[in-house]
Amino acid sequence: MQAAALHDPHPTRTTPRTDPTVEDPVTASDLIVDPRHRTDWATGAVLGDGVETLERRVADLAGVFADGAALAALDPELLVYRTECVFPVPDGTEGGLFWGTTFIQPGRVGEEYFMTKGHFHATSDRAEIYLTYAGTGLLVLMSRDRTCWAERMSVGSTHFIPAHTAHRTVNVGDDILAFGASWPSDAGHDYASIAADGFSARVLRIGGRPALVPQ
Ligand code: 6PG
Ligand code: NI
């Protein structure tokens, strides 16, 4: 996800209440302000200033799925996943953080479940955290020696993605998979390695159930 700077760096400022329906038990003060963002815990929606959205449709995902013919048979405009992200500091800033939610639609390309492109971080030693708001999925992880494994994702599951580890999320359920992520603002995204070599395993439906299948 690309970043654009948006925050004024001033720590003391007054803003309108972002959620006037929540009773405020705190004494009014110019030194106490509302957060600039909220997350809807049920859906993962990110609300507030400067939330940037990005969509990945079938047409954007050539070469990502194993079955190219099955992908070509789908409507190129069909939404596969989208993100709502906040970039409070410029992209590449050392010591900052980005965060956002990814929403993956339910669906398959042939026998392969809808999933993200997946990436290493361009600054390879940057880690990341994911936490699941809705749906069921698998977080597929791959180390630099191409060892691949996966963690089950379900509401509340919390995942540490180590440094030097490619990550891709797969929706294995019938509903939207929504998960939050936070990553360092100098992490960047290396999609090229995955485009060239892929992951060493894919999540396929076998006997009606998802399985992590070495390639
Ligand atoms: C990141 C996160 C996450 C990820 C999305 C979409 O580093 O930004 O891992 O926000 O970008 O889930 O996945 P792809 O970037 O692999 O398409
Ligand atoms: Ni990442």
Ligand 1: nearest atom to the Cα of 102? 12
User: Nearest C-alpha to atom 13 of ligand 1 is from which residue?
Assistant: 116
Same-domain status, 21 and 42: no
Q: Which ligand is nearest to the CA of 195?
A: 1
Residue 1 pLDDT: 52
- 93 and 2 co-located in one domain: no
Domain that holds residue 22: 1-33
For residues 76 and 176, state if they share a domain.
Answer: yes
Report the share of the chain in percent with pLDDT over 70. 90
Q: What is the pLDDT of residues 32-59, one digit of tens each?
A: 888 999 999 999 999 999 999 999 999 9
Residue 41 Cα, ligand 2 centroid: separation in angstroms? Answer: 21
Tell me, yes or no, whether 187 and 160 share the same domain. yes
Same domain, 118 and 65: yes
**Residue 153 and residue 125 in one domain:** yes
Look up tokens 């998979």; give the residue: 177
Q: Is 136 in the pocket of ligand 1 (CB under 6 A)?
A: no
Contact 148, 197 (CB under 8 A): no
The answer to whether the CB of 203 is under 6 A from ligand 1 is no
| Residue 189 near ligand 1, beta carbon < 6 Å | yes
Same domain, 18 and 44: no
What's the number of domains the chain is made of?
A: 2
Q: How far apart are CA 45 and CA 177, in angstroms?
A: 12
Instruction: Find the CATH number of the domain harbouring 155.
Output: 2.60.120.10
Asked whether residue 6 falls in the same domain as residue 78, the answer is no
Give pTM, 2 decimals: 0.91
Side-chain-side CA neighbours of residue 90 (13 Å): 2
Instruction: Specify whether 58 is located in the same domain as 20.
Output: no
Domain co-membership, 18 together with 62: no
Say yes or no: CB of residue 132 within 6 Å of ligand 1.
no
> pLDDT tens track of the chain, all 215 residues?
544 445 444 444 445 555 666 677 777 788 888 899 999 999 999 999 999 999 999 999 999 999 999 999 999 999 999 999 999 999 999 999 999 999 999 999 999 999 999 999 999 999 999 999 999 999 999 999 999 999 999 999 999 999 999 999 999 999 999 999 999 999 999 999 999 999 999 999 999 999 999 99
Do 15 and 86 belong to one domain? no
Interval between CA 147 and ligand 1 midpoint (Å)? 20
CA–CA dist 142, 147 (Å, integer): 5
Domain check: are 166 and 141 in the same one?
Answer: yes
Atom of ligand 1 nearest to the CA of 187: 7
